[in-house]
Amino acid sequence: MIFGAHVVLYSTDPAADRAFLRDVLGLASVDAGHGWLIFALPPAEVAIHPAEANGRHELYLMCNDLRAEISALANKAVQCSEVHEERWGSIVRIRLPGGGEVGLYQPKHPTAFSDLSD
């Protein structure tokens, strides 16, 4: 039985990105040894989108109030991109200290775990 998902983000500065997830986003973690932190994520869902080639994956964190999250992140000196409106949600990008990015969005579509997102 599948009981969860494990997401891998690659980084040129993993220590800084781990600190960001822990200290800025407040994600709980366990130490798998030698400071290798594995972070708990909120409930997740997966979508399959059409593409020209396989192997591309993206991570989006979801929220109920994007403007409030942008403000809370700004209070922690985190800058977000401009809000981009799509049919399926309002989206920003957050730059990680290691140089990578993750998305943050407020969905406009029903979620697979709607009862948990309120």
Kindly report, residue by residue over 47-105, the tens digit of the pLDDT. 888 999 998 889 999 999 999 999 999 999 999 999 999 998 999 999 999 999 999 99
Residue 113 has pLDDT above 80, yes or no: no
CATH of region 14-44+55-116: 3.10.180.10
Residue 31 has pLDDT above 80, yes or no: yes
Residue 116 has pLDDT above 70, yes or no: no
Residues 11, 77: Cα–Cα separation, whole Å: 20
Residues 12, 100: Cα–Cα separation, whole Å: 8
The pLDDT of residue 110:
86
Exposed/middle/buried for residue 72 (C-beta within 10 Å: 0-12, 13-18, 19+): middle
Mean predicted lDDT score pLDDT of the chain: 91
Which residue ranges make up each domain of the chain? 14-44+55-116
The pLDDT of residue 115:
55
